[in-house]
Amino acid sequence: MGIIIALFHDVGYLRKSSESERANGAEFTSVHVSRGAAFLEDYLPKIGLARWVPIATEVIHYTGYERAFDAISAPDPRDHKLGHLVGTADLLAQMADRCYLEKCRDRLYAEFVLGGVALPMSTTGAVNVKYASGLDLLRQTPQFMAAMRSSRLEAGFDHAYRYLDILYDGRNPYIEAIDRNVQYLQQILRSENWRLLRRQPPVFAALADPMANTRTLMVGAIKKAWG
């Protein structure tokens, strides 16, 4: 079950054929985990795994922010431990990525704009600026990474990342990589030399130029937000 949840934990970003009014899956950022749970509820019975639906649709929420961890319902403590493992793997893979900083600036910001995270609307219709640009997002990234390490990797997921230590003679290369990313970003923030972020990881998508398409959608969303 853990492998299936890991494989499909971001499936909620996919647009359905009936959702042609949506220009990009990033628009589902704030609800993609719930959409993923709905997908598992529909898909698992089709492959003979209906018995896993009640647990899988709960445990998947350990990979997101839509539900507090203490609101995740699972009868067996091992199910929660599985959630800790999947949530840890998801977060470690993101923050330990050698291209994490470039992805935050060049890709995540656009996703946050399209998903209503960067420029959320208040109940009065006013625009709130959470992230003004990709660089502004990077400036806030050290605090974000520290918060994720404390609230999720350590507290929320009960230090599950430590299970990796035995594989590397007491070391944890993922935590080390996260530390390197933080240190490198802090160096860049002190110098304001953004050219130090020069990696350009490939994008695998159906569109010929997905980055250009996403940037166009992002600019349109920003213009719409500011009227």
What is the per-residue pLDDT across 38-60, written as a single tens digit (0 to 9) for each?
999 999 999 999 999 999 999 99
* Non-local CB neighbours of 50 within 8 Å, separated by 6+ positions: 44
* 227 — pLDDT class (breaks 50, 70, 90): confident
Is residue 207 very low, low, confident or very high in pLDDT (cuts 50, 70, 90)? confident
pLDDT value, residue 21:
95
What's the rounded mean pLDDT across residues 173-182? 98
Cα end-to-end distance, the chain, whole Å:
46
**Ramachandran angles phi, psi of 127, nearest 5°:** -90, 125
Task: Answer whether residue 77 shows pLDDT above 90.
Answer: yes
Answer yes or no: is pLDDT of 78 > 90. yes
Determine the pLDDT at residue 123. Answer: 84
Residue range 102-161, pLDDT digits in tens = 999 999 999 999 999 999 988 888 999 999 999 999 999 999 999 999 999 999 999 999
Residue 119 and residue 129 in contact, taking contact as beta carbons nearer than 8 Å: yes
Please state, in angstroms and rounded to a whole number, the distance separating the CA atoms of residues 25 and 27: 5
Give me the residue spans of the domains in the chain: 1-17+24-95, 98-227
Q: Given this model, what pLDDT does residue 183 score?
A: 98
